[in-house]
């Protein structure tokens, strides 16, 4: 940048900087505890800096390091009670009480733990790769000789002078020293920090603003004393000592790591906080841990099985102790084969109590197979693969934004199939948050012929032809003419378009209206050098729509400097476009308290003008009583626009005289310079006096269109029996009309409106003190809730509850919230208007805890984060309000309409798969474990296992592990098309019919039955007869192998019966597991007897040649599976569940028979009261 600078111009004289106000903390705290940081600018290696040992700029987000991975990961694994139990039994297996070898006990645990650790390691490696990418980004750093060189982010130190260029991220928290602008301002995008896409304005100190070139930093030295690292993004206290000057610092000079430099060529900054000391890293906390209800119940089942295991071990040990005590009586031995007269302590009749205690340990180890050791790791594998399927679903890919669905956590897949209540934001979630200028009122005349979606919905309710009228014709004409629709501008009115406004009666007022739109804003223009087209970056979609509308109507804002705004506008005299420059003197910024924004400008004629736009609730009261010409008409138009679902703003102006402005500016600068706690109040007081006696110009109306497919999606979700609440910050009228447009409300649905906008409360607010008003307001809300409950109880009709933010504050109080929840649950639709982010989170918590059902929150903005984290499942919409909601969500989707597929298809499938998979896991382990128990009981509780050690080791690891994983990934009771065609199927998950105690216990009973069939059939068939033609009788090794073969066949064939949808992979896994058992038996039996022990040649020499073995296996498998098969067949034929009915439809080819399909749909668990279908039904009944 050139050295010869113009006179310095300071934005502090123009902007209020409300968003970057100085901390109210006294700068005298510098040097005290919490404010002790000292930074030597341009001297990162200063000896005092080395003593302080500040953090470097290397950032790590990994959970483990190379050194800590093994111990930390092992600790994480053994925190699970099941893994710890198997660790204890593994240790005990090295003692004499073990019923099997130590290796066979340790191996399966090692495989399971290793698989989980590998998964953890891979996930952490991905995090490591991301860290490497961030830490290796390049930035220019000062060498110390007036030149800058590129270095990696990780090499930066506190005190380094850094040069950041346009569109680069800031590598650390830095103090802004100067920029490419003369008055050292820069524009910053903080989307990564707070999710906001609007640009923030930052300004350096005047003392450093002259440092405009690299060479200026050769001799630059300064000392910064400031607060210690903390997580407060919007506060900063410090001082800079520069050439014996002490300059106070505030957040306006602080540039935060991971924010981006925009619309500024470059800036220079000094690193204050680096690495893990930066505010964004200090703010990085783990999202709240969420676990699904299925997983929580699974934990209870594990504990239940532990209880069963210890009970049968205890009972068996008592029986064993009694039998052992009677083994040797009067010299006679009952169990002579155990030699009780010459034995160890394990069978010594004289030490029966000790033998019983030792047997208890043996039994606990033996019955450990009741606990499915591979369940947790199998479920983790399945959930990760289910998440991949969700991510890759092309039906949930948004081509326009190039964003697919993304399951950010796999913990809650099955929870997606159990949602009872959806709590949704409106703006950006149900609507696009892409505003379109569609109507306006100027000088009491309404302009704009467009039809909004809400107006169409209202027309449909009234049966008016308007629904398919004007707008559709206009769009058709546009299509014919080839005219491209302008984003943000959907205005159609020939009276003021194409310059025709000059012929209107109030042309001068219309010109003032357009000028105000083009001038009163903080947008930044970007001119395409090739085409000359001007685009805008604005703080909000509304503001962008206003400047686009001004441009399209002939008042093009094309240039902004620090003190001027330039526009092209139509000159009434010459009829040509001319350039006009307005001196920008002050910007009185918008905030949620002021609800308005103003600019003070001087036009080319030297007139001082205050231009203001704001909400009708604050603007009408500020109008000049002598200039109320259009007020009544404008109020009427604004109400009509609100009824049409539009967002409105009032536009007004005021001419200022020179003396008045000088006095205001003096007080304004004094108020801004104050560092007291009432600084904001002082600024508001000064600006409030100036924004009075305004002259009304008109009103704007912009439409936030419904997202594509929202009404149909809500209809499907309503058919599924899911209740939908809308939590919005919009006005009640707007929210109600959007409710009609998206079919949450319908004609004939009675509305219960809870509001404090009553004459009595308003009268009290004017004359009474705050305590009286609060008490009266609470009583009013209680009375309205009680009246609403009485209405809902007395009638069976559908009701809609609508409540505003003021009333909601009282409804959420501890002594009222349960009454409010009871009323809300009884209503078909609930809409909470004017809700704050905190209220959204509190409502979500109330529904979650009060109903005990699964709640899902969906939103797109930073103001929805609390709601998303509070709900059981948080869904982030990757919209235009930044990524904060997405980053805090469990699943992200691009549009609301994809929610129906996410829940009704993937949610239903995941719930069914996980539920069946867990039930099957318990079934197969109980089947196997109970045969061990029966055999040990048969052997007088001697602690003798029925099977070879290695058979038991590989049962859960190889022979039965893959089929349930395949079921968890691929099984479908009905196809995606039928899930959407019959949404009521989703209620199987909401009512938890597939994972209730009845179903779980029935699977467990099936396991006990199968084990009894296997054991008693095998023991009775083999105990007394010759086993083969050689007359050989059955020994323990033959009986155990035969029983094990039957177990493998039974549990795998049971899986085949449980599957609804076979794939090639499932066939391979099921029949391959059985084949693997025979191959293992042959290979293992061929090994040395010292290793294979009882399995040596048992299959080749004993089992394979014997017909009894094959016939017995077939007979046992049929006998064990017959009851389940018969029960399933009878249920499917005579008492089908809802998915069974749909399967019958498909089987009989009646899926396109409307009458039969409607009959199936009528088996609704709850009547549908909202949505397009409910509206259609209601219309037919009238």
C-beta separation of 1105 from 1117 below 8 A: no
Q: Are 188 and 261 in contact (CB under 8 A)?
A: yes
- Cα distance between residue 1069 and residue 1094, in whole Å: 28
CA dist 783 and 816 (Å) reads 11
Query: How far apart (Å, rounded) are the C-alpha atoms in residues 90 and 103?
Result: 9
End-to-end CA distance of the chain: 75
User: What is the C-alpha R_g of the chain?
Assistant: 38
d(CA 147, CA 143): 6
* Catalytic site positions: 425
Report the alpha-carbon distance of residue 814 to residue 812 in Å, rounded.
6
As a whole number of angstroms, the distance between CA 863 and CA 428 comes to 12
SS3 160: coil
Q: Is 1050 helix (H, G, I), strand (E, B) or coil?
A: helix
Q: How far is CA 415 from CA 758, 854, 908, in A?
A: 42, 7, 9
Beta carbons within 8 Å of 945's beta carbon, 6+ residues apart: 99, 100, 366, 932, 935, 936, 952, 1040
Residues 6+ apart with CB under 8 A from 379: 295, 914, 917, 918, 968
Give the pair of three-digit tokens for residue 1101.
């020499």
Distances in Å between the alpha carbon of 512 and those of 448, 567, 578, 653, 984? 18, 13, 15, 9, 56
User: For residue 777, with 0-12 CB atoms within 10 Å meaning exposed, 13-18 middle and 19 or more buried, which class applies?
Assistant: buried
Among left, alpha and beta (phi > 0; psi -120 to 50; other), residue 1036 is alpha
Task: Check if the beta carbon of residue 328 is closer than 8 Å to that of residue 349.
Answer: yes
| Burial class of residue 560 (count of CB atoms within 10 Å of its CB; 0-12, 13-18, 19+) | middle
Structure tokens at 405: 């669905």
- Going from the C-alpha of 177 to that of each of 208, 212, 776, 1028, 1156, the distances in angstroms are 5, 9, 54, 95, 75
Could you tell me the two tokens for 258?
């991971």
CA distances from 192 to 188, 842, 888, 988 (A): 11, 25, 12, 40
Q: Which two tokens stand for residue 1056?
A: 């085949």
How are beta strands 891-893 and 873-877 bridged, if at all? parallel
Report d(CA 873, CA 892) in Å as an integer.
Answer: 11
Collect all residues with Cβ–Cβ distance below 8 Å to 182 and sequence separation of at least 6. 5, 6, 8, 9, 209, 562
State the Cα–Cα distance between residues 564 and 430, nearest whole angstrom.
38
DSSP class of residue 573? T
Q: Counting every residue, how long is the chain?
A: 1182
Count other Cβ atoms within 10 Å, centred on residue 989: 29
Which of 595, 524, 508, 606 lies closest to 559, judged by CA? Answer: 524
- 646-656 and 608-614: which strand pairing? antiparallel
């Amino acid at each position: 940048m050139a050295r010869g600078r113009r006179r310095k111009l300071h934005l502090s004289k123009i902007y209020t900087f409300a968003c970057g106000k100085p901390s109210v903390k006294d700068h005298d705290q510098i040097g005290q505890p919490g404010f002790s940081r000292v930074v030597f600018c341009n001297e990162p290696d200063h000896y005092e800096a080395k003593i302080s040992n500040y953090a470097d700029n290397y950032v790590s987000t990994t959970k483990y390091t190379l050194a800590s991975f093994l111990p930390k990961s092992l600790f994480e694994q053994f925190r699970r009670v099941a893994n710890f139990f198997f660790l204890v039994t593994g240790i005990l297996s090295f003692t004499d009480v073990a019923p099997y070898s130590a290796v066979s006990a340790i191996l399966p645990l090692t495989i399971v733990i290793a698989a989980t650790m590998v998964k953890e390691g891979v996930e952490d490696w991905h995090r490591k790769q991301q860290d490497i990418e961030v830490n290796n980004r390049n930035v220019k750093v000062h060498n110390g000789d007036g030149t800058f060189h590129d270095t990696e982010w990780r090499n930066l130190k506190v005190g380094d002078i850094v040069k950041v260029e346009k569109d680069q991220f800031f590598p650390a928290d830095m103090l802004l020293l100067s920029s490419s602008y003369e008055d050292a301002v820069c524009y910053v995008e903080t989307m990564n920090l707070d999710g906001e896409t609007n640009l923030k304005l930052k300004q350096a100190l005047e003392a450093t603003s002259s440092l405009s070139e690299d060479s200026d930093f050769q001799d630059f030295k300064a000392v910064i004393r400031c607060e210690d690292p903390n997580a407060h993004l919007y506060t900063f206290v410090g001082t800079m000592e520069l050439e014996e000057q002490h300059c106070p610092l505030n957040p306006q000079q602080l540039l935060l790591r991971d924010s981006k430099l925009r619309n500024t060529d470059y800036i220079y900054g000094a690193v204050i906080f680096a690495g893990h000391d930066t505010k964004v890293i200090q703010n990085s906390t783990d999202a709240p841990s969420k676990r699904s209800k299925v997983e929580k119940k699974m934990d209870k089942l594990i504990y239940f099985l532990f209880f069963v295991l210890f009970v049968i071990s205890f009972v068996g040990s008592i029986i064993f102790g009694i039998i052992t005590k009677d083994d040797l009586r009067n010299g006679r031995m009952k169990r002579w084969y155990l030699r009780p007269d010459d034995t160890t302590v394990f069978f010594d009749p004289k030490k029966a109590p000790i033998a019983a205690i030792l047997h208890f340990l043996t039994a606990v180890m033996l019955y450990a197979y009741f606990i499915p050791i591979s369940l947790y790791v199998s479920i983790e594998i399945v959930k990760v693969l289910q998440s991949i399927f969700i991510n890759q679903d092309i039906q949930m890919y948004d081509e326009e934004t190039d964003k697919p669905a993304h399951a950010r956590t796999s913990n809650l897949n099955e929870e997606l199939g159990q949602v009872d209540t959806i709590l949704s934001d409106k703006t950006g979630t149900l609507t696009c948050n892409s505003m379109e200028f569609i109507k306006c009122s100027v000088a009491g005349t309404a302009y704009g012929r467009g039809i909004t979606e809400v107006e169409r919905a209202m027309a449909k309710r009234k049966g008016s032809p308007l629904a398919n009228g004007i707008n559709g014709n206009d769009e058709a004409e546009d299509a014919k003419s080839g005219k491209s629709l302008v984003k943000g501008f959907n205005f159609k009115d020939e009276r003021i378009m194409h310059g025709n406004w000059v012929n209107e009666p109030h042309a001068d007022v219309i010109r003032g209206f357009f000028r105000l739109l083009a001038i009163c804003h903080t947008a930044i223009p970007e001119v395409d050098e090739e085409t000359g087209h001007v685009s805008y970056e604005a703080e909000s979609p509304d503001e962008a729509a206003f400047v686009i509308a001004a441009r399209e109507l002939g008042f093009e804002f094309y240039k902004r400097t620090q003190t001027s705004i330039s526009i092209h506008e139509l000159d009434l005299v010459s009829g040509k476009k001319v350039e006009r420059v307005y001196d920008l003197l002050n910007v009185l910024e918008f905030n949620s308290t002021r609800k308005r924004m103003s600019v003070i400008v001087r036009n080319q004629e030297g007139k001082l003008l205050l231009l203001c736009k704001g909400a009708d609730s604050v603007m009408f009261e500020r109008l000049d009583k002598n200039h109320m010409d259009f007020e009544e008409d404008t109020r009427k138009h604004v109400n009509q626009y609100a009824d049409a679902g539009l967002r409105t703003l009032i536009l007004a102006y005021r001419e200022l005289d020179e003396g008045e402005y000088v006095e205001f500016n003096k007080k304004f600068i004094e108020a801004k310079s104050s560092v007291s706690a009432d600084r904001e109040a002082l600024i508001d007081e000064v600006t409030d006096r100036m924004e009075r006696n305004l002259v009304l110009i008109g009103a704007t109306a912009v439409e936030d269109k419904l997202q594509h497919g929202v009404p149909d999606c809500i209809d499907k979700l309503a058919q599924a029996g899911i209740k939908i609440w809308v939590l919005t910050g919009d006005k009640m009228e707007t929210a109600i009309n959007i409710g009609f447009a998206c079919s949450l409300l319908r004609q004939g649905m009675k509305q219960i409106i809870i509001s404090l906008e009553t004459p009595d409360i308003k009268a009290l607010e004017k004359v009474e003190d705050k305590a009286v008003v609060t008490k009266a307001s609470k009583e009013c809300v209680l009375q309205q809730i009680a009246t609403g409950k009485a209405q809902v109880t007395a009638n069976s009709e559908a009701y809609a509850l609508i409540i505003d933010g003021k009333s909601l504050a009282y409804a959420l109080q501890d002594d009222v919230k349960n009454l409010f929840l009871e009323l809300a649950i009884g209503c078909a639709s609930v809409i909470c208007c004017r809700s704050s982010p905190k209220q959204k989170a509190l409502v979500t918590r109330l529904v979650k805890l009060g109903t005990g059902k699964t709640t899902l929150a969906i939103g797109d903005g930073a103001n929805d984060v609390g709601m998303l984290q509070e709900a059981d499942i948080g869904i982030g919409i990757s919209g235009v309000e930044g990524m904060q909601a997405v980053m805090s969500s469990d699943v992200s989707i691009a549009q609301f309409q994809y929610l129906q597929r996410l829940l009704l298809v993937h949610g239903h499938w995941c719930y069914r798969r996980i539920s069946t998979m867990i039930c099957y896991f318990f079934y197969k382990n109980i089947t196997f474990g109970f045969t061990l128990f029966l055999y040990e009981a048969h052997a007088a509780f001697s602690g003798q296992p029925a099977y070879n050690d290695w058979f038991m080791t590989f049962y859960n690891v190889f022979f039965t592990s893959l089929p349930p994983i395949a079921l968890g990934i691929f099984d479908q009771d009905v196809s995606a098309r039928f899930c959407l065609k019959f949404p009521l199927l989703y209620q199987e998950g909401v009512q938890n019919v597939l994972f209730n105690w009845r179903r779980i216990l029935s699977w467990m009973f099936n396991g006990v039955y199968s084990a009894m069939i296997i054991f008693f059939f095998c023991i009775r068939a083999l105990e007394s007869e010759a086993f083969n033609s050689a007359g050989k009788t059955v020994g323990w090794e033959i009986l155990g192998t035969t029983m094990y073969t039957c177990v493998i066949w039974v549990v795998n064939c049971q899986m085949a019966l449980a599957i609804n949808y076979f794939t090639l992979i499932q066939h391979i896994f099921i029949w391959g597991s059985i084949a693997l058992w025979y191959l293992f038996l042959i290979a293992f039996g061929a090994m040395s007897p010292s290793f294979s022990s009882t399995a040596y040649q048992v299959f080749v020499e004993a089992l394979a040649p014997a017909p009894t073995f094959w016939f017995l296996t077939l007979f046992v498998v049929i006998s064990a599976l017959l009851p389940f098969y018969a029960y399933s067949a009878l249920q499917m034929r005579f008492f089908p569940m809802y998915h069974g009915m749909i399967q019958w439809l498909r089987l009989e080819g009646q899926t396109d028979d409307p009458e039969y399909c409607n009959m199936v749909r009528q088996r609704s668990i709850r009547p549908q009261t909202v949505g397009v279908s409910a509206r259609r039904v209601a219309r037919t009944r009238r």
